[in-house]
Amino acid sequence: MKKIIAASLISACLVVLMGGATGYYLVKSGKFGHMTSGPVQAEAPVNPANLTFISLPETVVTLSDSGGAHHYVLMELALAVNEKDKQNIVRADESLYQSIIVSTLSQKSFDDVQYMKVPEIRDLLAKALKSELQNRHMVPPFCDVLVTKAVFQ
């Protein structure tokens, strides 16, 4: 029974990795032109006095290391919002942001994430959040992402 479950998990991981690699290749090669990002718009300068930081709930992800052992990674992020009306959008979409965080971190091994510096994790998650929102034809309602807690166990 354990062998069947292990084989199923390994085959599912291989399918996800092969699909992701194929999608990455097709997007980067330009064969899916409608999925590539358009021209980058310059963002308006942010007034620090208008910033509000909205904390997202803690996100726990289980990752495997190179030896196959399971580890927990706990992340807590805060999103910086510079407009009052966007605060409600961020609060309403918390589940979406958590899903993107889990998806992004679960694509990494524990060894990779454990040795990343906090600014690298912040950049990884900020890019993932913004690109996923663009893929969904949504404008990111936040102007910055902050890592408020990172625990590796």
Statement to judge: residues 19 and 55 lie in one domain: no
Residue 36: per-residue pLDDT: 43
**Cβ-contact 72, 61 below 8 angstroms:** yes
Domain annotation covers residue 40: no
Three-state SS sequence of 26-43: HHHHCCCHHHCCCCCCCC
Same domain, 109 and 72: yes
Confidence check: pLDDT of 35 > 50: no
Q: What is the CATH number of the domain that holds 100?
A: 3.30.479
Q: Is residue 41 part of a domain?
A: no
CA separation for the pair 87, 74 (Å, rounded): 24
Q: Which residues contact 152 (CB under 8 A, 6 or more apart)?
A: 71, 72, 73, 110, 113, 114
Domain total in the chain:
2
Do 60 and 122 lie in a common domain? yes
80 and 14 within one domain? no
The DSSP H or E segment spanning 45 is: none
Arithmetic mean of pLDDT, 25-35:
56
Positive or negative: CA dihedral 15, 16, 18, 19: positive
Strand duo 59-64 + 144-152: pairing = unpaired
Are 8 and 55 in the same domain? no
pLDDT 10s digits, 126-141: 999 999 999 999 999 9
Q: What range defines the domain where residue 12 resides?
A: 1-34
Lowest-confidence region among 23-32, 35-44, 78-87: 35-44
Query: Do 87 and 146 fall within a single domain?
Result: yes
Residue 42 lies in a domain: no
